[in-house]
Amino acid sequence: MNGVHKMQNGGSGGRVDWVDYAKGFCIVFVVMMHSTLGVEAAAGKDGWLHALVEFARPFRMPDFFMISGLFLAQVIDRDWRTYLDRKVVHFAYFYLLWMTIQFVFKAPGIAAESGMLEVARLYLLSLIDPFGTLWFIYLLPIFFVVVKLLRRVPWPAIWLIGAALEISQINTGWMVPDEFAARFVYFYTGYIAARYVFALTADAQANPLIALGGLAVWAMFNGVMVHEGLAALPFISLGMGLIGAAAVATVSSLLALHDVFKPLRYCGRNSIVIYLAFFLPMAVSRAALLKTGIVTDIGTISVIVTACGVFGSLAIFWAARRLAANFLFERPARFWLVPEKERPAPRPILQPAE
């Protein structure tokens, strides 16, 4: 179960192209969700893109977490210092940096409404309760540590506990326990079932017509369940999350077979860049479009804001590289626990698409 998997459609640098496609799908859907719901909340009504956002809800985050766990078996036995450096400090650096950046933009509004003490309170609160859109990279290090601590425990017991947590639909009002309960089972499934996920994508590439038929059936089923309001029910949500994650992996493997949509793969390769920075171009474009009234259709505005969020974040990334501001998206050496010469050599076979 914890062996190295054979690479399928490897891209440059030993990456797995279908994994990058899957991450591309997920990050675009994440930006679309925040953009659409933000536009609709500001406008006071829903647009036609809302239906697609709801269609993706059962599988959007389950797939993201499953993909994040796929390559864990390759590094979980590293010494704790190296492991914490790569799987905890790495994400903690970006969370603290971009949480602070978001506060710089949001603090004036908060201060005007509630005063500077509220700004300070919310900033300190964000150290224990993830701020805004950044909860995903706050939660990932927790998952990495929990799985390493429990790696000697029989996997069926851990999986069943994770499934029970998801089914229980815990709602404490605090982001960490609520999202841990809702998402851990998908991350752990990626870890323990990686070989089967890779086998699924290999079969899809070997039998594309059968794969397309299965995807058509899944799409109809997912759409009906969402439309009827059944997708979020206990037990059903777990099944739909797992099936939906498998469907995204299948779609991604078919795209990778001929590499037909490279921009999406590029988004997947840089998913953390988009995730960190999309809030700014999203917020700016949303405010500009709603204020000017140049476009009046809510669905169209949502599409434009989504595109601005994705391409705007990439533009920030490209500008950062040109302006020697690499620290925004690349952890500086002084924040590494393990010096360069002590870091494990990268494996040439597979690399996680982070």
| Overall number of domains in the chain | 1
CA-to-CA distance for 340 and 84, rounded, in angstroms?
15
Give the C-alpha separation, 354 to 352, whole Å.
6
pLDDT higher than threshold 50 for residue 85 = yes
Q: Given a cut of 80, is residue 7 above it in pLDDT? A: no
pLDDT of residue 43: 96
Whether residue 296 lies inside any domain: the answer is yes
Which is nearest to 265 in space by CA: 3, 15, 23? 23
- How far is 243 from 220, CA to CA, in rounded Å? 13
Task: Specify the amino acid at residue 32.
Answer: M
Q: Is the pLDDT of residue 348 over 80?
A: no
Q: Which domain holds residue 270?
A: 12-342
Assigned domain for 352 exists:
no
**Residue 228 domain-assigned?**
yes
Contacts 24+ apart (CB under 8 A), 120-123: 123/99
Dump pLDDT digits (tens) for 104-155.
Answer: 999 999 999 999 999 999 999 999 999 888 999 999 999 999 999 999 999 9
Which 8-state DSSP code applies to residue 233? S
Quick one: average pLDDT of 161-181?
97
Contact 305, 35 (CB under 8 A): yes
Q: Which helix (H) or strand (E) holds 300?
A: helix 298-322
Q: Is 354 domain-assigned?
A: no
Does 347 reside within a domain? no
Q: How far apart are CA 150 and CA 168, in angstroms?
A: 21
Give the phi and the psi of residue 321 in degrees, each rounded to 5.
-70, -40
Predicted pLDDT of residue 131: 83
Answer whether residue 64 shows pLDDT above 80: yes
Determine, yes or no, domain membership for 119.
yes
Q: What would the DSSP string read from start to end of 226-272?
A: HHTT-TTSTTHHHHHHHHHHHHHHHHHHHHHHHT--HHHHHHHHTHH
